[in-house]
Structures are given as structure tokens and as C-alpha cells.
């Protein structure tokens, strides 16, 4: 009777294992994890503890059939695990009673599938294939955290840290990399973070700073980009001048004088590059501490420039990191009135006419005087006779001397001033018969 009872013990043990109320497993049906991260699958089982023999646990990834099931984790020594599961699937190191939880690190897409637990006690095996859980692996969408000061001051070093706190400490160390034109030097490094010492400048304001993290076990890369907010004092201060319809004139430093046509519209635009933006205002004259601005913006508009607008105008640029001033002096160019232009034209025309008339009178006087002085007296048309040449020469001489005798009272100076001309014409004597020699005279009149 006793022997029969002993033979029935294995049968009874197997029957006990199949009693779910005595061997029960608490396990989620589905677990989702992102690629490259770690996951803890909670598990708890219940079994009769009347026997003191050790209990071994085995986790399998379900294959196509029974022969394809892959062993990924066990607490039984000297067991060969699946190659890609080594060092990534773990049972509790110090298992508490009834704890069958499974830890997976550096999860990759090949880990997706169905998993079940198998137990072994006293060479007896029980599989919970009717209570498997599904592992779903999704793409890694987490981004790194960048710890950066809210504002970076130009020229001052700051420490910036990139970290992945959501990653697993037990996983393979990720690779960090920084991308920025403003990088200076690397900072402290931990398993899940990397810092840099950043020294920004004004040209770095608004540029990108990128932290990239690569998880080698999963082959996944994530990154995050931030825009640098760099504070800096005003620079590139200038005044743009718009006069009438003309193009803008850009003044980069204080100037002594700016000529503006009377009555023209004038627009002055003051500008400065700074972060945060500077407060701009216009003053008449120098920007004294207690002076009242004529414009509280960078724009000063003068619709019509007159005598009242002549003088110095100053643009004040106020900023927490430093203030600056730039000024210019407006000088008005006056327009000529239309009536004044007409009078000037009349005067100029009259002067030209008078000058031309004077020149014409002088020319006429000279011509008249010359013609009168060159007028001949009377022609000696009737000088005839057969007298000899000697008589004619004598006659010419006597006639002139006799004429001068009538004006004895005239002075020598008068004779020099008044020069007279006489025109003599001698006719060739006609041949005549011999007659008694006789001399004929003709009167010569000399006109002054």
C-alpha cells in the first residue's frame, strides 16, 4: 500500500502543477518601449512552497514553433542564451519571493515579439505559454535636454549641458556631439550628459546650437536645437537721411553740417544693432540729462525745413549694457524768390543793351570822323593851257602860299590839328597852232 502511494507521487505533483489556483502568474499582456531605452516587465508568480528545492525561471521569445523558441534570460547556471540577448535581458539579481520580473536594456527593433515564462523545480517544468506578453518597440522620439542660461552675455563664458535623463544608466554609454559656430571648449562629461563652455559674441545671436546623441546599441540618433539669445551693447549706430524724393544718405558718425534746401521735407531715421533693442529718442541740441526729447522713437520727421529747424539734432541710444549718442547739424540752403529773379534779369538785360549801344556809337563816330577827314576839295577840271610844267608847279606853290596868307591869325597848333587834302587832276594839253604865248589860270578853292 505504501509502495503504491510512492508511485503515485509524481503523478500527483504533475497534477498540482496544472492546478492554476496553485500556480498562478501575474503579467501584463502588452508592453511598449522606445528603441534604445530600457524596460522593466513586472512579473509575479504563485506556487506551492511545500518543497525546499530551488526554483529556476526561464524567459523565452516565442518563435514560429516550439523548436524556434529563443532563450533570452534565466537564473539557472550554465545555460546558453541567445546571442543578441546576452548582457541585455536580466532577471532580478536578488530575487524576492515570487518575483519573475524581466529587465531589458538597449531595446532594439529585433526585440519585438511574444515572450513567455517557464519554471523548473525538481526537474519538473511548467510553461506559462497561455500567459504571454507582447513587447512592442517603437521609434525613439525623445529629445535631449539642453540646460542653458536664459540669456548669454556677449564675451562672457557660460556652461551649457546636454543630457538624456530618460535613458538607462545600465545601457551602453551614448555618444554626444555639439554643433554650433559659437563653441569654445568641452565641459564636464557623465554617462548621460555632456557640457560645453560657450563664449558667445554678437554675431552668434540667433544662431543655432544643436546637441546630438547617438545610442550605439540601438543604432538610434536623437538631437535637439536651440537658438542662442546673446545680449550685447549697441553697435552699428547710424542716421539715415531722407530728403524729399532723394535716396537715403547713411551717416555713421556725428557730422558737422548737413545742407538742406529750404522748404524741403526731411526724415531722420536713427538705428542701432543691440540685444535687447535699445531705447531711441531725438533731442534738439545735445542730449542733456534733464532734456525733453522731441521724439521718443528713432524717427524724426520735419515736414518743411525752415530757419527754425536749423541747428544740431542728437539721437540718444540707451541700453543696459551701454549708451551712445550720434548727432548732425542741419544748415538750410535758401531759395531765390521769383520776383528777385525777374528784377535781376531785367537789370542784366539793360546793362547788356547799354553796353552794346555804347559800342555802336563809338563805332559810328569813328567812321563818320574818318569819312569827313578824307573828303576831297574841288577837282581841277578846267586847268587848261599850253603853259609849261614849270608854270604849273609855280602856280601850285603860289596858290597854296596865297591861301595860307588869308588865315594869318590861325595858330600853329590849329594847323597841325586840322589836316586838309586837295585833289588835283591835270589834263593832257591838246595840240594847238602856234599862237602867242599866253597863260590861263583857274581858281582853286580850298574848303575846310
What is the number of residues in the chain? 448
CA distance linking residue 17 with residue 24, whole number of Å: 10
CA distance linking residue 260 with residue 332, whole number of Å: 5
Per-residue pLDDT at 181 = 83
One-character DSSP codes across 79-119: -PPPGGGTTTEE--SSPPTTB--EEE-S--GGG-EEEEEEE
CATH superfamily label, 243-333: Immunoglobulins (2.60.40.10)
Fold of the 2-138 domain: Immunoglobulin-like (2.60.40)
| DSSP code, position 270 | E
Could you tell me the three cell numbers for 217?
Answer: 546599441
Strand partners, 270: 239
Contact 140, 215 (CB under 8 A): yes
Cα atoms found within 13 Å of the Cα of residue 15, Cβ hemisphere only: 5
Per-residue pLDDT at 102 = 95
Tens-digit pLDDT profile for the chain (448 aa)?
333 343 333 434 344 444 445 678 899 999 999 999 999 999 998 876 655 667 889 999 998 666 788 999 999 998 999 998 999 999 987 666 788 999 999 999 999 999 999 988 877 888 899 999 999 999 999 999 999 988 899 999 999 999 999 999 888 899 999 998 887 788 889 999 999 999 999 999 999 999 999 999 888 899 999 999 999 999 999 999 988 777 678 888 887 788 888 888 889 999 999 999 999 999 998 888 888 999 999 999 988 888 888 889 999 999 999 999 999 988 888 766 555 455 556 566 666 767 777 767 777 665 655 554 444 444 434 433 444 443 433 333 343 344 444 444 444 344 444 444 444 444 445 554 444 444 444 444 444 4
CATH of 145-228, one of 3.30.365.10, 3.30.70.100, 2.60.40.10, 1.50.10.10: 2.60.40.10
Please write the tens of the pLDDT for every residue from 304-332.
Answer: 888 888 889 999 999 999 999 999 988 88
CA distance linking residue 381 with residue 369, whole number of Å: 27
Per-residue pLDDT at 136 = 96
Strand 175-179 and strand 158-163: the pairing is unpaired
CA distance linking residue 252 with residue 327, whole number of Å: 10
Residue indicated by cell numbers 596868307: 405
Please write the tens of the pLDDT for every residue from 177-193.
Answer: 999 888 778 888 999 99
Amino acid at each position: 500500500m505504501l509502495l503504491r502511494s510512492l508511485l503515485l507521487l509524481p503523478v500527483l505533483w504533475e497534477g498540482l502543477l496544472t492546478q492554476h489556483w496553485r500556480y498562478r502568474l501575474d503579467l501584463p499582456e502588452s508592453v511598449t518601449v522606445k528603441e534604445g531605452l530600457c524596460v522593466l516587465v513586472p512579473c509575479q508568480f504563485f506556487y506551492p512552497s511545500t518543497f525546499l528545492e530551488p526554483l529556476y525561471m526561464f524567459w523565452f521569445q516565442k518563435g514560429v514553433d516550439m523548436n524556434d523558441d529563443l532563450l533570452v534570460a534565466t537564473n539557472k547556471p550554465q545555460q546558453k542564451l541567445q546571442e543578441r540577448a546576452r548582457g541585455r535581458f536580466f532577471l532580478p539579481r536578488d530575487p524576492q519571493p515570487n518575483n519573475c520580473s524581466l529587465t531589458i536594456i538597449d531595446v532594439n527593433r529585433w526585440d519585438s515579439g511574444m515572450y513567455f515564462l517557464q519554471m523548473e523545480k525538481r526537474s519538473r517544468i511548467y510553461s506559462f505559454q497561455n500567459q504571454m506578453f507582447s513587447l512592442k518597440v517603437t521609434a525613439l522620439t525623445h529629445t535631449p535636454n539642453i540646460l542653458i542660461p536664459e540669456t548669454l552675455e556677449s564675451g562672457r563664458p557660460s556652461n551649457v549641458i546636454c543630457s538624456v535623463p530618460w535613458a538607462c544608466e545600465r545601457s551602453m554609454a551614448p555618444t554626444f556631439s555639439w554643433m554650433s559656430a559659437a563653441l569654445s571648449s568641452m565641459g564636464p562629461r557623465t554617462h548621460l550628459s555632456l557640457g560645453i563652455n560657450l563664449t558667445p559674441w554678437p554675431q552668434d545671436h540667433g544662431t543655432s546650437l544643436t546637441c546630438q546623441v547617438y545610442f550605439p546599441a540601438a543604432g538610434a540618433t536623437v538631437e535637439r536645437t536651440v537658438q542662442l539669445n546673446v545680449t550685447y551693447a549697441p553697435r552699428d549706430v547710424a542716421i539715415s537721411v531722407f530728403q524729399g524724393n532723394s535716396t537715403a544718405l547713411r551717416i555713421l558718425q556725428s557730422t558737422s553740417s548737413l545742407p538742406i534746401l529750404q522748404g524741403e521735407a526731411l526724415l531722420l531715421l536713427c538705428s542701432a544693432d543691440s540685444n535687447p533693442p535699445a531705447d531711441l529718442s531725438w533731442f534738439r541740441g545735445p542730449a542733456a540729462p534733464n532734456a525733453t526729447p522731441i521724439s521718443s522713437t528713432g524717427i524724426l520727421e520735419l515736414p518743411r525745413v525752415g530757419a527754425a529747424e536749423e541747428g544740431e539734432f542728437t539721437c540718444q541710444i540707451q541700453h543696459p549694457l551701454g549708451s551712445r549718442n550720434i548727432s548732425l547739424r542741419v544748415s538750410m540752403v535758401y531759395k531765390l524768390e521769383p520776383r528777385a529773379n525777374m528784377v535781376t534779369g531785367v537789370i542784366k538785360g539793360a546793362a547788356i543793351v547799354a553796353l552794346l549801344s555804347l559800342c555802336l556809337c563809338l563805332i559810328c563816330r569813328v567812321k563818320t570822323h574818318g569819312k569827313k577827314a578824307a573828303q576831297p576839295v574841288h577837282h581841277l577840271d578846267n586847268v587848261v593851257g599850253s603853259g609849261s610844267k614849270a608854270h604849273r608847279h609855280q602856280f601850285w606853290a603860289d596858290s597854296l602860299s596865297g591861301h595860307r596868307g588869308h588865315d594869318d591869325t590861325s595858330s600853329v597848333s590849329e594847323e597841325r590839328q586840322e589836316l586838309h587834302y586837295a585833289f588835283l587832276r591835270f589834263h593832257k594839253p591838246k595840240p594847238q597852232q602856234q599862237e602867242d604865248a599866253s597863260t590861263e589860270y583857274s581858281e582853286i578853292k580850298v574848303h575846310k
